[in-house]
Structure 1
């Protein structure tokens, strides 16, 4: 259950309304998800977060599909169910196959296991890996 009201379009402040218009234009959809609707309670946080997401997830050296897959990995590591679902949907929409998803989950699981082993064992970083 949300800890804040998920604002409908008719409940938005003028500032939040402008950001929702940008979300819709940028994503070329009328759908604005619950994350943005929760953030709309604080237009300053909504704006800051949207601008950051727009910049980081926008065009760059990594493909949109790879960016979504990285977002899935971080979301799994942080236990964000909402983000896992929304970015898995985003990755699938950008071409991620079922085989890629299974491989991604295997990598996430293996990295989590080996990270914990290294931390528990106190393994020092090899000089060859330091730059």
Structure 2
């Protein structure tokens, strides 16, 4: 039988693989593939690009490609958290549907904490 120590896992961010990874390798750091982050950014942000809040997030998200160190990643996550704190009223806007139900106007970034270092996850939930 082959044995190997897994240092980290990079994946596309889908829920099923993440759930399996957490079950089988709970202590292994998981990160999302940069290509998948860029694609999701394009889908989410180009719809509402005129809003200053969205332009800020687009600028912030483009910085992901340049993160090289753990410290830079922590700084980026802190900047993302501060952006969200300043922008949460806009992000959480809801509209009333014809049925009377409420729905979010803008697609919510539900998994900000998914790939954060453990000590920052509580801030991003």
TM-score (norm 2): 0.32
Query: Which one has a larger percent strand, Structure 1 or Structure 2?
Result: 2
Report which of the two structures shows the higher radius of gyration computed on alpha carbons.
1
Query: Which one has a larger percent helix, Structure 1 or Structure 2?
Result: 1
